[in-house]
Chain A
Amino acid sequence: MSETPVDADEVRHVADLARIDLDDEAVDQFAVQFADILSYFDALDDVPEVDPEADLVNVMRDDEVRDGLTQAEALENAPEAEDGYFKGPSVS
Chain B
Amino acid sequence: MSHDAFITEETIHGADDGPLAGRTVAIKDNISTAGVRTTCGSEMLTDYVPPYDATVVERLKSAGATLVGKTNMDEFGMGTTTETSAFGPTTNPVDEDRVPGGSSGGSAAAVAAGEADAALGSDTGGSVRCPAAFCGVVGIKPTYGLVSRYGLVAYANSLEQIGPLAPTVEEAAEVLEVIAGPDDRDATTRAEGADANYASAADGEVDGLSIGVPTELIEGADDRVVDRFHETIADLETRGAETHEVSLPSIERAVQAYYVIAMSEASSNLARFDGVRYGPDTDAEGNWNESFAAVREAGFGDEVKRRILLGTYALSAGYHDKYYAKAQDARAWLKQDFDEALSDADVLASPTMPVLPFELGESLDDPLQMYLADANTVPVNLANLPAISVPAGRADGLPVGFQLIGPAFGERAIIRAASAVESSV
Q: Are A26's CB and B305's CB within 8 A?
A: yes
- Tell me which residues from 269 to 306 in chain B have a Cβ below 8 Å from any Cβ of chain A: 271, 274-282, 284, 286-294, 296-297, 300, 302, 305-306
Given A14-B309, A44-B330, 13 other A-B contacts at CB below 8 A?
A4-B319, A14-B316, A34-B310, A37-B259, A38-B310, A47-B250, A47-B329, A74-B277, A76-B49, A77-B278, A89-B288, A89-B290, A89-B291
Specify which chain B residues have a CB less than 8 angstroms from the CB of A48 in the assembled complex. 329, 333
Specify which chain A residues have a CB less than 8 angstroms from the CB of B250 in the assembled complex. 47
The answer to whether A74 and B310 touch (CB under 8 A), given A37-B368, A89-B291, is no
- Tell me which residues from 49 to 84 in chain A have a Cβ below 8 Å from any Cβ of chain B: 49-53, 59, 61, 69, 73-74, 76-80
4 closest residue pairs by CB, A with B? A79-B281, A21-B297, A89-B291, A77-B278
Specify which chain A residues have a CB less than 8 angstroms from the CB of B328 in the assembled complex. 52
Specify which chain B residues have a CB less than 8 angstroms from the CB of A37 in the assembled complex. 259, 310, 367-368, 371
Q: How many residues of A contact B (CB 8 A)?
A: 48
Interface size class of B (residues with CB under 8 A): 35 or more
Q: Once bound together, how far apart are the Cα atoms of A44 and B253, in whole Å?
A: 7
Contact pattern, B 310-335, Cβ under 8 Å of A = 1, otherwise 0: 10111010010011001111111101
Q: Are A91's CB and B332's CB within 8 A?
A: no
Specify the chain B residue showing the minimal Cβ separation from A77. B278
A8 part of interface (Cβ distance < 8 Å): no
Give chain A nearest CB distance to B339 CB in angstroms: 9
B232 part of interface (Cβ distance < 8 Å): no
Give chain A nearest CB distance to B166 CB in angstroms: 31
Specify which chain A residues have a CB less than 8 angstroms from the CB of B310 in the assembled complex. 34, 37-38
Specify which chain B residues have a CB less than 8 angstroms from the CB of A20 in the assembled complex. 293, 296-297, 300, 305, 308-309
Q: Once bound together, how far apart are the Cα atoms of A18 and B329, in whole Å?
A: 26
Give chain A nearest CB distance to B38 CB in angstroms: 10
B interface, by DSSP: helix, strand, loop or mixed? helix
Q: Once bound together, how far apart are the Cα atoms of A49 and B325, in whole Å?
A: 9
Residues of B at under 8 Å CB distance from A? 47-49, 51-52, 184, 187-188, 250, 252-253, 256-257, 259-260, 267, 271, 274-282, 284, 286-294, 296-297, 300, 302, 305-306, 308-310, 312-314, 316, 319, 322-323, 326-333, 335-336, 367-368, 371
A1 part of interface (Cβ distance < 8 Å): no
Specify which chain B residues have a CB less than 8 angstroms from the CB of A73 in the assembled complex. 51
Specify which chain B residues have a CB less than 8 angstroms from the CB of A76 in the assembled complex. 49, 51
Q: Once bound together, how far apart are the Cα atoms of A31 and B376, in whole Å?
A: 28
Q: Are A41's CB and B333's CB within 8 A?
A: no
Q: Are A47's CB and B330's CB within 8 A?
A: yes
Specify which chain A residues have a CB less than 8 angstroms from the CB of B306 in the assembled complex. 30, 33-34
Specify which chain A residues have a CB less than 8 angstroms from the CB of B336 in the assembled complex. 50
Give chain A nearest CB distance to B301 CB in angstroms: 11
The answer to whether A90 and B329 touch (CB under 8 A), given A19-B293, A21-B293, is no
Specify the chain A residue showing the minimal Cβ separation from B408. A55
